[in-house]
Amino acid sequence: MAAKLKKKAYIAQDVDMIRSAAYQDLSGNAVKLLILMQTHYRMYEPIAYSISEAQKRVGCCRGKAHEAFRELESHGFIRLMLDGHFSKQLARKWRLTFREFNDHKPSDEWRNWQPQN
């Protein structure tokens, strides 16, 4: 009997999103963080992702990791669902605006982003 092949997980990106002004304006750290956050995506639960984890996985300093989160939020790719608590070791919880969440269609807030002059 042939061995069962394990299904591989993958991340598909919307080409319109990649070509958008909002995505093109992101720093490399923010793009990398966005991809990493997608590996934690579940339709019915927010993504728990801390600055410490981002710092470790992206390979940058704490300030740059914090900046990447701010960029993704200000450009409309992520939204804060629940604030974290460092002393209680609770990571902030986020949702991806370009993915379904709790049976709601994506809000695609990144489509409305405009560069500041």
Identify the domain containing residue 43 by its residue range.
18-107
Domain assignment present for 8: no
Residue in 80, 33, 85, 27 with CA at minimum distance from that of residue 57: 33
- pLDDT value of position 72: 99
Overall average pLDDT of the 106-111 stretch: 97
Domain count of the chain? 1
Within-domain flag for 5: no
Is 12 a domain residue? no
pLDDT confidence band for 1 (50 / 70 / 90): low
- Residue 77's nearest CA partner among 12, 20, 10 is 20
Question: Would 2 be classed as within a structural domain?
Answer: no
List, for residues 50-100, the tens digit of each pLDDT value: 999 999 999 999 999 999 999 999 999 999 998 877 666 678 999 999 999
| pLDDT in the model for residue 6 | 81
Whether 80 maps to a domain, the answer reads yes
User: Which tens digits make up the pLDDT trace of 9-44?
Assistant: 888 899 999 999 999 999 999 999 999 999 999 999
Could you tell me the CATH number of the domain that includes residue 75?
A: 1.10.10.10
The answer to whether position 88 is within a domain reads yes
Q: Does any domain span residue 97?
A: yes
Query: Is 57 a member of any domain?
Result: yes
Q: What is the pLDDT of residue 53?
A: 95
Three state DSSP letters for 26-94: CCHHHHHHHHHHHCCCECCECEECCHHHHHHHHCCCHHHHHHHHHHHHHCCCEEEEECCEHHHCECCEE
Query: Which residues have CB under 8 Å from 105's CB, separation 6+?
Result: none
